[in-house]
Chain A
């Protein structure tokens, strides 16, 4: 089954404790992205990747890191989480197409609480 998976789905942590949220897709998509969703703000793009070893900042990259060592994986790293990073996080992947609209396929989400 074609899908985007995220782990963990729920995480409660404390300020300053490094964490990683994993994202994996089995569709051989070139593009992957991370978003955070906050009430009243919609989804905001944190980072995106156009291929292995190619990443770029989205609208809200501060406090986050990503890596793309393999095509299928795009982990989100919070080196020193703070309470303002409490949010719902979504990973998405998109096929690289020569033409046609690039539809994003979303993972199930990770609800992160930083105390």
Chain B
């Protein structure tokens, strides 16, 4: 079965620090990869997605992610975080051509002003 690992459960950063959140998946076939953000009390919003092509994907709010097929990874990055980035971040993988979506357990990011 497909699995998605997010190794950092809780990350605390100061404003302007750089961010990298890890995401690894287990499926060896074609995948669609996503990062979602959930602000406190809100539903999930899409940050960015990868389907094919350039493995470096740029999303909203200055986030980017790099797909490294050989490492089964799709890490999320942001060069300089802001207090407003405080949220929970979920990596997700869609595999098998259908709607079988697997989410990671999430990483809570706290940005200190």
Contact = CB atoms under 8 A, between A and B. Distances in A.
B32 interface: yes
B90 interface: yes
A42 B99 contact: no
Give the interface size bracket for B toward A: 20 to 34
Contacts of A108: 42-43
B22 interface: no
A106 B102 contact: no
Interface string A49-89: 11000001011000000000000000000000000000000
A100 B51 contact: yes
Interface of A: 31, 33, 35, 40-45, 48-50, 56, 58-59, 90, 94, 99-104, 106-109
Interface of B: 1, 6, 9, 32, 34, 42-46, 49-51, 90, 92, 94, 98-106
